[in-house]
Amino acid sequence: MIYHTSWHRFYAARYPAYNYGHLVNHRLSLISGRQAQYHVGEVAAVFGRVYETYYDDINNEFYLYFGAPYPQNDFTVVVTGREARKMRRHSPRYYIGRDFIVSGLVTQWNGNPEIVINYSSQLKRY
């Protein structure tokens, strides 16, 4: 995946504390969900197979767990807001067993790497 100027504007608006200058017109790191733990704090594209999903009605968040069912998962994708409600329209079986690529800032929550996304363009099936 090529990190181009439109992505630069997209991520700079969402993560203003991160320096993206070195990434413009370079390749965005493509890593597996298992490798994501070594890339916390970086903007990357993470690929993996979804083994479990969960929709939180209270927070309106949708979770995709890569690598294994929760809590043994390698990586978590957290989808917030309007996009999560759109994803909920699909049956959980739509996501389970399929491969996805998610792009964004790799962060960590309770020791597990994750990417929090707000736009469907950050999540692609492959």
Work out the angle at residue 64's Cα, subtended by the Cα atoms of residues 39 and 70, and round it to the nearest 5 degrees.
85
Whole-structure pTM value: 0.83
Mean pLDDT of the chain: 84
User: Do residues 3 and 26 make contact, with C-beta atoms less than 8 angstroms apart?
Assistant: yes
Partners of 54 in the beta sheet? 63
Give the domains, in start order, of the chain with CATH numbers. 32-125 (2.40.50.140)
Q: Which amino acid is at 37?
A: Q
Tell me if the bond preceding 113 is cis, omega within 30° of 0.
no
Each residue of 44-99: pLDDT tens digit? 899 999 999 999 889 889 999 999 999 999 999 999 988 888 887 788 788 999 99
Partners of 47 in the beta sheet? 32, 101
- Gap between the Cα atoms of 96 and 82, Å rounded: 21
